[in-house]
Structure 1
């Protein structure tokens, strides 16, 4: 994996700077364009005929967010929420506005990768998502969204396939970046999102790869919205909800200097599941818990013990918990995810 398990916020920020600097080097060079040529040579006809000018435009558009995009990291506990929202999402016919995305360009890292199964049945990790807003000469705007596979994911079937393909070319393998483009799509702005239409695939020709056990996989064959589109839109919406909290990750001096040398944005933000925070009260008393949101608590039994040591229980009616005026998390149930 490109990220260490159970890393700290500072560790996330340090790793993000290193990965982005390496990706800037990779996407700015010839190996990235060569990889794009090979990738789109096998793409379905929905992408049309890839001319040299189109390939150069895609090369620039997919590389730009690594340098100038706003950086985000999705904490592992949030990955399941974004994956579930993306899998169930149907944007067909929806019209997205200019402010749907939090920024014109961005890069989102998933330390715990999602997975994507294409309509051919092949599975690839999505360790990062990038997007960039573009406007055509006709005045139509879109977000160009790219999914990137984690090159060092030991569970990703595409890594094994790529390693086999490059076994005879170690010179090329050494020059690849920590992430490789695995999916590419666009989200129109101010125009209806189209329902994906996949070409008919002969199951006898293509193998149906299973996703790694216990991992979240967006299945392109059954999804009502393109995989990268759904993941990007789910992230955009969830990171702005009371469910999530966005924290700035502290940057150590060496990482900050490296970011400045590479001319990349380094104000990395980590998107985490919102939770209560212990704040120490004056004196030596126990820390008190303060909630930042209101939520519905279901009716439940509370187990107690009387002064003689005999256990008993009382029924607690359903109620709303949290400070007055705080945002209310809608829904009848609240699930608390913790790692």
Structure 2
């Protein structure tokens, strides 16, 4: 799957989709800067380009002609897929990450330290099932994998010379996933008819995440104020009149199957931050699976030999620490469970005096039920207009 995606990511349909998505983002940001920000025409364009292409790692000066940007973006996708270490997350670990992500606000993710928190500098995380989420305009999409790579980000306004150390996070959607609107089906059919079928993983947007921990010194109240400011920006961008969600609760849970509402479009940041931090705090165990070499059909004039198969890192949920009081995570001895299901995650901001920073950690996660029983995932149907 990864090899096919690498070979076909420079696909005319993928290129057109990337161009349209970027154009929409720049246009929305430009209009917001003019109307809500009160900027002049040229300043509005520069602001719009900074928080879109600059946030993807594109250094200034920026051009309003997006063709060159899309060309470089495709090359960055290819570099990611070539260099990434592959991670496959188990359903239980994925449920824990989803629950942890629900406790976060956008400013929490700016406490990330890419030198400390990441299990690998560049990686591709394969999910056990697509995540279905609704953006600020209510449109549904699904995500099957996330890729990340280090980058300098240039989305500060006014711009910061040299950029900010961070990460490019690429979302990949499942070509055959649960969200199949008529327009997408028509695109798939046209691509097949032209002899150039789309890859199983299709790049579906890039998110820039700061990775220098520059907000790690702030307390909870200060982080919440930063989050409110960011939410105001997305409120202006949002086209519908639906109210932006308030402060996220400190306790989150995930039972699978529900649509993730993402009006402020920070879900990718929250999910990846939770994944990286849970792995760093050893709540999840990462083991290396080395697949056997696969034989290759010989080409003319070339002897057959084993194909190099990359190692796969399997991410599984670690055993929770047993509490003395038989609290939320304790399995009651007299109950007999025939399935497993995730229970709540509790976010804690813990002070580390030696580092002079707060670090977000989670108590839990907890999975109830016997070890051999299946994890419950709710069956869902999605209406697509």
Smaller-chain TM-score bracket:
0.5 to 0.7
1:27 matched to 2:27? The reply is no
Out of 141, 148, 171, the position equivalent to 1:147 is 171
Aligned to 1:122: 139
**Could you state the TM-score of these two structures normalised by the residue count of structure 2?**
0.59
Deviations 1:212-235 (A, max 9, x none): x952433221x5x71211111111
Residues 36 and 59 of structure 1 are in contact (CA less than 8 Å); yes or no, is this contact kept in structure 2? no
Deviation of 1:92 (Å): 1.3
Q: 1:331 to 1:74 in 2, by over 3 A?
A: closer
Deviation of 1:164 (Å): 3.4
Deviation of 1:187 (Å): 0.6
Aligned to 1:57: 72
Deviation of 1:168 (Å): 4.8
Deviations 1:140-166 (A, max 9, x none): 32201111111122x2245x5411345
* Equivalent-residue separation in structure 2 for 1:135 and 1:235 (angstroms): 21
Aligned to 1:336: 368
Deviation of 1:301 (Å): 7.8
Deviation of 1:81 (Å): 1.2
Aligned to 1:241: 281
Deviation of 1:87 (Å): 2.6
SS class of match (2:17): helix
Deviates more, 1:118-127 or 1:171-180: 171-180
Q: 1:127 to 1:262 in 2, by over 3 A?
A: farther
Out of 224, 231, 240, the position equivalent to 1:202 is 240
Deviation of 1:295 (Å): 1.7
Q: 1:89 to 1:173 in 2, by over 3 A?
A: farther
Deviation of 1:252 (Å): 2.4
Q: 1:120 to 1:104 in 2, by over 3 A?
A: same
* Equivalent-residue separation in structure 2 for 1:254 and 1:109 (angstroms): 21
Give the length in aligned residue pairs.
265
SS class of match (1:180): strand
Q: What are structure 1's unaligned runs of at least 5 residues?
A: 1-18, 205-212, 276-292, 304-328
Q: What are structure 2's unaligned runs of at least 5 residues?
A: 30-47, 54-63, 154-160, 216-225, 243-254, 298-304, 335-360, 375-385
Which of structures 1 and 2 has the bigger CA Rg? 1
* Equivalent-residue separation in structure 2 for 1:333 and 1:75 (angstroms): 14
The alignment yields a C-alpha RMSD, in angstroms, of 3.6
Aligned to 1:316: none
